[in-house]
Copies of this chain bind each other. A is one copy, B any other.
Amino acid sequence: MKEELTKRIVEEVIRRLQQSPHDEACIPIGVSARHCHLKEKDLEFLFGKGYQLTKKADLSQPGQFAANETVIIAGPKGSIERVRVLGPLRKETQVEASQTDAIKLGLKPPIRESGDLEGSSPVTIIGPNGSLFLEKGLIIAQAHIHMSPDQALQFSVADGEYVAVEVGHLIRPIRYERVQIRVSSKYILEMHIDTDEANAGLIVSGQTGKLVKRDAEEVR
């Protein structure tokens, strides 16, 4: 718990530092490990009738939480245990994994925004009460930045726009060239990348990146 507290304090300090007017383009980074969102019907199928998720920890975006519950995900080449379920429940069940995970599973998920499941990869989810084969539901998450409408004004960006983000790590500096902006009054400023993107830059949650607007002709 002490380690968790230290981590939160460090994250909060970094968050406040980045709010300085002298450093307006600095974005705190959160690394998303593989995880699963469930709809009510699938939760009950996997965990039992009437089952309810229990909260392990709040996530940075308001209302979102990591549950104590985990599942196994599987594909034709392998499986991965202890995949965290995130709450609250959603309208559609969705698994987010990295390309490294996808290779291990033997699956080819597309890179997608959360919730955009048309044409996504099939995947098997195994819980204590049963297993589900989903025809679609596995994606690799598109790197994105959550921000409020005020912050979007401040950064001169619009919802859905793509920007670049540079992380000036001394050892393994990297620039992500296609990061999507997501604007909502419910959002707290944070960039979300997956574990492949993080490990390619030796990045851990709480570090910051620099938002770089892309010239119109650069935008793909």
Q: Provided the pairs A196-B200, A200-B197 are in contact, do residues A172 and B100 lie with their beta carbons within 8 angstroms?
A: no
The B-contacting residues of A in range 172-220, CB under 8 angstroms, are 172-178, 195-197, 199-202, 220
- A128-167 vs B, CB cutoff 8 Å, 1 = contact: the mask equals 0000000000000001000000000000000000000010
CA separation between A163 and B174, bound complex, in Å?
A: 12
A46 to chain B, nearest CB (A): 25
Taking chain A's interface residues, is the majority helix, strand, or loop, or is none over half, making it mixed?
Answer: mixed
**Contact B174–A177 (Cβ < 8 Å):** yes
CA separation between A174 and B100, bound complex, in Å?
A: 17
Copies of chain A in the complex = 2
CA separation between A97 and B176, bound complex, in Å?
A: 22
Total number of A residues with any Cβ neighbor in B under 8 Å: 25
Which residue on B lies nearest to A195, using beta carbons? B100
Contacts of A200 in B (CB 8 A): 99, 174, 196-197, 199-201
